[in-house]
Chain A
C-alpha cells in the first residue's frame, strides 16, 4: 500500500516538475524571441532607411528647382535621424561603429542646415554640392554592405542574439558574420573624414577648445600647491596628484584628498594651473542660510579666479544646495558660452564645488563688432504678443555653432517667461528659449 502511495506521489512530482520545466523553457524562449525580433526590426529598418537615404540624396543631386530641393533635404534629415535611432537599438556599442554613426549625424546636420536656409537667396555652393556627392557615394557603399549582410542574415537565419553572445564572451568575434559585416561598413568610412573637414562640416570641434588658456605650464608640485589653495588649504601631504592621459582635450592635473567624512577633488589645467572642476563632498545638514546669503559666498569665491567681470545670472535652490551660474561680461555684453557654476551648501555657506570648464573651453579675447541695428529695431523683430521686461546685449552660440552678438530680451506671455535672442547685425531671430518653470512634485502626499 505504502509503496503505491510513494509511486503515485513520486510520479506526480516528476510529471509536475516536467510540466513546470517545459513551461519555464517556453517562457524563456518567448522572451528570447521577442528580444531577437526587436533587434531584427531595428536591423532591417536600418538597411531600409540607408537605402532610402541613398536614393533621396541621389535625387536631390539631380534636382534643379529650389522649391523641391528644400522639402527633399528635410526628408533626408528625417530619414537620417530614423537611421540613427535604429543604430541606437542594436547591440553595437562595443563594436567600432562610431564613424558610421557620425556619418549619419553629418548627413542630418548638413540636410538640416541647407533645408532651413533660403535656397533662393543662397543656393548650394559648389563645395556643398561636392559634399553632397561625397555623402551620396558613401551612403551607397554603406547601403551595399548592409544589404549584403542582410542577405546572409536572411539566407542563413542568423540571429542577433548570437552577436550579443559573441560580444559578451569576446571570443571569436571575428567569426561572426554580422559583426564582420559591420566592421566592413565601418572600414568603408575611412577617407570620409578628410573630405568632410575640407568642406567645413564638422560634427565635433575639439581643436577649437581651450585655445586661449593663459599662463605657463606648471609642474606637479606647483599643481599641489594650487590645488591646496582651492581645496580649503588642505595640507599638500594629503593630496594625491595624477596627470591626465592622452585622451584628454586639455592636459590636466587631478588632485584629490580624503579626510574623515570629506572628499575633495580638483582638475587643474597644466597650462596656467586654472581650476576646471572642483568638488567637495560631505554630509550636508538642513538649510540654515538663505539663498541670497549663499549667493554672496559664491560671488566672493569666484573672485579667486581673477576674471575681471562675472555676473550672477541664475540661482537655484536644489534641496540643501544653492547652485549659482555666472557669466563672463565685457562692456556689459554677457557671454552665454563662458559660464561658471558654483555650488554652495545651505547649512553653513561652504562652497562645495565649482565648474569653470565651459568658461576656459570657450573663452576667447576676440574683438566684438558693435551692433549694427539699434535696440528699437531689434525690439520690432520680437513677436508683438509678448511683453518685453528686460533687455541685454549678449553673445550666444547659434545652431550652426557660431558665436553671434545678439540683443537678448526677457519677455513674458501669459504666465511663461521667454528668452529671445535677436541677432544684432542682421536682425534675425537666432533663438527663443522657454524658461523653465518649477515642476510640481509628483509624489506629493495629499
Chain B
C-alpha cells in the first residue's frame, strides 16, 4: 500500500515539476544492452537502482549491487507496469524505466565518488537528498584525481559476499591459505581453504574460521608468522571457491607435507589423496 501511494505521489510530483527536473539532467544514453539479473554488479545496476528509486520502488542504498532489495523493486515495477514479473531487467523493462524516470548520472556518480550518503528520489530537490558520509567527515581527502577519472566507469560501493562471511573473514582465510600453500597449484590452495572450512563444520574443531586458523599448532604458517604475508588475488579466489562449495580435498580434515611432517600420528590418519606437495587425510 505504502509503495503504491508513494508511486502515485511521485507521479504527481513528476507532473508538477517535470521541467525543473529536466534542466539539471544531462542527456544520457541509458543502460548498456545486457540483461541485468540478480547478483550482477556494476554501472548498469547503479543506473537501475537510481531509476527505481526515482520512482519510489527502491528505498535501499544505491550501491551498484543487484541484491534482494533491488530484486523486489524490479518485480514491483514489473507488476505496476503490467510486465511479466520475473525480476529480470531486459529491453522492455529498460524502455519503460527510461520513459518513466530520469537518471541524473552526474549527480549520482559524484555522490558515490565523494562517499556521501544520498538518495535519488524524483520530485525532491537534490540538495536535500545528500549529506556527507561519516568516513568523509573524519578524513577528508584531496580530490585532485577526481577530475581525471570523471569519465571512467563508477565502481560499485559494495560487493557480493557469500552468505555468512564478510570480506574480512575472506581476507583472513586468504592470509592463512597464502601462508600455508603459496607454492602450491591453485587446486591445492582451494583444498587447503576447504580443509579450514571442513574443520569449522567438524565436531572436533573450533566453530569459526578464526578459531580454526589460530588453534595452537594447527598450521605452521600461523606458528611462524607467515600468515601475515600479503596474500595475492589467487589465494583470495581459492578461498571464495572453497566457500562457494568446491572441495577438491575430498572432505579432508588434515593435510601434511610428507617431506617435513614430524608427527607419527599424522601418518596414521587414513589418507585421501595428494595434491601438489600436500597429502590430505581424514
Which positions in A face B, CB cutoff 8 Å? Answer: 39, 84-85, 88-96, 98-99, 101-102, 105-106, 164, 167-170, 203-204, 242, 244-249, 252, 254, 256, 263, 265, 267, 277, 279, 281, 287, 289-293, 295, 314-319, 321-323, 325, 339, 341, 343, 353, 355, 357-358, 389, 412, 415-417, 433, 435-442, 444-446
How many whole Å from B276's CB to the nearest CB in chain A? 10
Task: Enumerate 19 A-B pairs (CB-CB under 8 Å) in ascending A order.
Answer: A94-B265, A102-B204, A204-B202, A244-B250, A247-B271, A247-B282, A249-B251, A277-B246, A279-B241, A318-B240, A343-B241, A353-B246, A412-B72, A436-B161, A436-B162, A436-B163, A440-B157, A441-B167, A446-B136
B158 A438 Cβ-Cβ under 8 A:
yes
B216 within 8 Å of A (CB atoms): yes
A417 B160 Cβ-Cβ under 8 A:
no
B38-52 vs A, Cβ < 8 Å mask (1 yes, 0 no): 111110000000000
B245 A358 Cβ-Cβ under 8 A:
yes
How many whole Å from A391's CB to the nearest CB in chain B? 14
B129 within 8 Å of A (CB atoms): no
A169 B262 Cβ-Cβ under 8 A:
yes
* Cα A87 to Cα B244 with chains together (Å): 29
How many whole Å from A248's CB to the nearest CB in chain B? 5
Contacts A244-B250, A292-B88 hold; do A204 and B274 have CB atoms under 8 A apart? no
B231 within 8 Å of A (CB atoms): no
A293 B271 Cβ-Cβ under 8 A:
no
B39 A315 Cβ-Cβ under 8 A:
yes
B203 within 8 Å of A (CB atoms): yes
B203 A417 Cβ-Cβ under 8 A:
no
B186 A263 Cβ-Cβ under 8 A:
yes
Contacts A84-B206, A353-B241, A438-B160 hold; do A315 and B216 have CB atoms under 8 A apart? no
A437 B69 Cβ-Cβ under 8 A:
yes
Specify which chain B residues have a CB less than 8 angstroms from the CB of A263 in the assembled complex: 185-187
**Tally of A-B residue pairs with Cβ under 8 A?**
212
B147-168 vs A, Cβ < 8 Å mask (1 yes, 0 no): 0000000001111111110111
Specify which chain B residues have a CB less than 8 angstroms from the CB of A94 in the assembled complex: 217, 263, 265-266
Contact of A439 among B42, B159, B206 (CB under 8 A): B159
B160 A248 Cβ-Cβ under 8 A:
no
Contact of A291 among B37, B166, B216 (CB under 8 A): B37
B37 A245 Cβ-Cβ under 8 A:
no
B217 A164 Cβ-Cβ under 8 A:
yes
| Majority SS at the chain B contact face | loop
B264 within 8 Å of A (CB atoms): yes
Q: A101-B205, A277-B248 are in contact. List 5 more A-B contacts (CB 8 A).
A: A93-B217, A106-B203, A164-B217, A263-B187, A341-B245
* Cα A445 to Cα B144 with chains together (Å): 13
Contacts A249-B250, A357-B245, A440-B157 hold; do A317 and B203 have CB atoms under 8 A apart? no
Specify which chain A residues have a CB less than 8 angstroms from the CB of B205 in the assembled complex: 88, 101
A343 B136 Cβ-Cβ under 8 A:
no
Specify which chain A residues have a CB less than 8 angstroms from the CB of B67 in the assembled complex: 437-438
Specify which chain B residues have a CB less than 8 angstroms from the CB of A444 in the assembled complex: 115, 135, 157
B193 within 8 Å of A (CB atoms): no
Smallest CB gap from B135: residue in A? A446
Specify which chain B residues have a CB less than 8 angstroms from the CB of A92 in the assembled complex: 216-217
* Cα A85 to Cα B212 with chains together (Å): 11
* Cα A101 to Cα B159 with chains together (Å): 37
* Cα A322 to Cα B262 with chains together (Å): 41
Contacts A438-B158, A440-B158 hold; do A281 and B136 have CB atoms under 8 A apart? no
B157 A170 Cβ-Cβ under 8 A:
no
Specify which chain A residues have a CB less than 8 angstroms from the CB of B136 in the assembled complex: 446
A91 B216 Cβ-Cβ under 8 A:
yes
Specify which chain A residues have a CB less than 8 angstroms from the CB of B101 in the assembled complex: none
